[in-house]
């Protein structure tokens, strides 16, 4: 694999078999070309934020990839479609959501991709699983994950116990 960067991806699901969808997404992330799934957080539950529907299960994954941010975004959207994601309206309940949070230290603002993810520092359901893996990770322009989490600590988000399989 060519030179790689760390890329962080948020995963969420609030329709259907949520745990199964996230596990399938972890598997698919691990099979992406030019990419390696390094690790992922445990699962976290949270109510929808600025949306309707059932509670979400959320997680964060760390990838090492040589894909550029746009190639990785395309790959993430392909995984969503393969696993049944539909986009009926903004913030609609979903079977799977994959958001590219960070791609190395890239700072982008384009019509198709903004990095860091523009709302990641406002969401405990992103920051809690991210803090589980990398509390001192620097989010360009925002401070560390832990610093950002302290600003949204009141938002409900709780760890889900692992189940034996």
- Residue-wise pLDDT for 5-16, tens only, equals 999 999 999 988
Active-site position among 18, 94, 123, 128: 94
- 12 versus 51: which is more confidently predicted? 12
Residue 89 pLDDT exceeds 70: no
| Residue 53, token pair as written in the block | 């529907």
Q: Mean of the pLDDT values across residues 96-121? A: 96
| Domain contains 165 | no
How many structural domains does the chain have?
1
Give yes or no: 119 in active site.
no
Question: Which residues form the domain of 9?
Answer: 5-159
Helical segments of the chain, H only: 18-30, 69-82, 124-133, 145-151
Catalytic residue among 6, 74, 99, 122: 99
Is residue 57 domain-resident? yes
What pLDDT does 165 receive? 45
Region 62-81: what's the mean pLDDT? Answer: 96
Residue 85 annotated in active site: yes
Say which of 85, 87, 136, 151 is annotated catalytic. 85
- Is 164 within a domain? no
> Are the C-beta atoms of 35 and 74 separated by less than 8 Å?
no
């Amino acid at each position: 694999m060519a030179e790689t960067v760390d890329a962080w991806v948020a995963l969420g699901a609030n329709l259907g078999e949520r745990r199964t969808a996230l596990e399938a997404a972890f598997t698919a992330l691990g099979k992406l070309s030019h990419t390696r799934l390094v690790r992922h957080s445990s699962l976290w539950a949270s109510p929808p934020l600025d949306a309707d529907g059932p509670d979400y299960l959320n997680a964060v994954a760390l990838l090492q990839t040589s894909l550029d941010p746009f190639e990785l975004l395309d790959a993430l959207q392909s995984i969503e479609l393969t696993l049944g994601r539909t986009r009926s309206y903004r913030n609609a309940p979903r079977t799977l959501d994959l958001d590219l949070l960070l791609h190395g230290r890239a700072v982008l603002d384009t019509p198709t991709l903004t990095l860091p993810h523009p709302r990641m520092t406002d969401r405990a359901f992103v920051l809690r699983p991210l803090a589980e893996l990398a509390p001192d990770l620097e989010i360009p322009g925002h401070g560390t994950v832990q610093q950002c989490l302290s600003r949204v600590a009141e938002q409900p988000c709780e760890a889900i116990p692992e189940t034996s399989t």
